[in-house]
Amino acid sequence: MSFALTLLDAHNHGVIVTALTDHRGSRVFIRGIVSGEPQHPLLDYEETSLQQALNA
């Protein structure tokens, strides 16, 4: 039940909200995006989410 949601404005600034769920519980992370570029390294599915948002 993990997911990544990318929210961008018209200038491709925004955030990726990621929830990781396992048998121990859930953790939520927020990663900043500036001009379409992540401010921190991304997980594979975060990168996929970002690319889908940029190409929408």
Digit-coded pLDDT (tens) for 2-44 = 999 999 999 999 999 999 999 999 999 999 999 999 999 999 9
Q: What is the pTM of this model?
A: 0.90
Distances (CA, A) of 55 to 42, 48, 49, 50, 52: 17, 11, 10, 9, 5
Distances (CA, A) of 24 to 16, 20, 46, 54: 23, 10, 21, 33
Nearest partner of 4 among 37, 53, 39, judged by Cα: 53
Q: So what's the pLDDT on residue 1?
A: 81
